[in-house]
């Protein structure tokens, strides 16, 4: 099985009202189908906290709902180069809150068993997850 996960998080203000979203796609024959869409309003958070929350939310859903193994592939796409490189271990993490989030993500990776590949993409390639973040933030704004 091949899964692609498009994650995004955003805060209006930094920090400010924030949301996280993930779109999980599964390859069936020659086309990609949406398996699950996830979104969550986070309250007050930073952009980076929201980006990490999106990854954690997606990996948590995958670990609870799918049985992946070593032969499967899990590709996580992010439009935050910083978060992507921190998850790959290329950049150090000095913030204790973000370090804890990475610790939790690494624990979820172990539960999933399939190798997880983090891939940086441009924002315009992450439109579905970005739209979910903005819809969630707009709902919060309109319900205030």
At 104-117, the pLDDT tens digits run 999 999 999 999 99
Q: pLDDT at residue 63 above 90?
A: yes
At 124-142, the pLDDT tens digits run 999 999 999 999 999 988 7
- Do the Cβ atoms of 90 and 56 come closer than 8 Å? no
- Please classify residue 11 by burial: count the beta carbons closer than 10 Å to its beta carbon, then call 0-12 exposed, 13-18 middle and 19+ buried: buried
- Do the Cβ atoms of 108 and 56 come closer than 8 Å? yes
Residues of the domain holding 133? 2-143
Look over the chain and give the mean of its residue pLDDT values, rounded to a whole number.
95
The number of domains in the chain is 1
Phi, psi of 10 (to 5 degrees): -155, 155
Q: pLDDT at residue 144 above 90?
A: no
What's the CATH code of the domain at 32?
3.30.420.10
At 72-101, the pLDDT tens digits run 999 999 999 999 999 999 999 999 999 999
Q: pLDDT at residue 71 above 70?
A: yes
Phi, psi of 61 (to 5 degrees): -60, -45
Q: pLDDT at residue 25 above 90?
A: yes
Predicted TM-score (pTM) of this structure: 0.95
């Amino acid at each position: 099985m091949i899964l692609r996960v498009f994650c995004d998080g955003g805060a209006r203000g930094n920090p400010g009202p924030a949301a996280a979203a993930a779109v999980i796609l599964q390859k069936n024959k020659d086309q990609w189908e949406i398996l699950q869409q996830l979104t969550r309003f986070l309250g007050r958070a930073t952009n980076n906290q929201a980006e990490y929350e999106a990854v954690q939310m997606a990996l948590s859903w995958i670990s609870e709902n799918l049985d992946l193994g070593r032969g499967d592939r899990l590709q996580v796409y992010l439009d935050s180069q910083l978060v992507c490189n921190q998850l790959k271990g290329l950049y150090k993490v000095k913030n204790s809150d973000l370090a804890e989030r990475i610790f939790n993500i690494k624990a979820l990776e172990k539960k999933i068993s399939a190798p997880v590949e983090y891939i940086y993409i441009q924002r315009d390639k992450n439109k579905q997850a970005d739209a979910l973040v903005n819809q969630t933030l707009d709902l919060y704004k309109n319900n205030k």
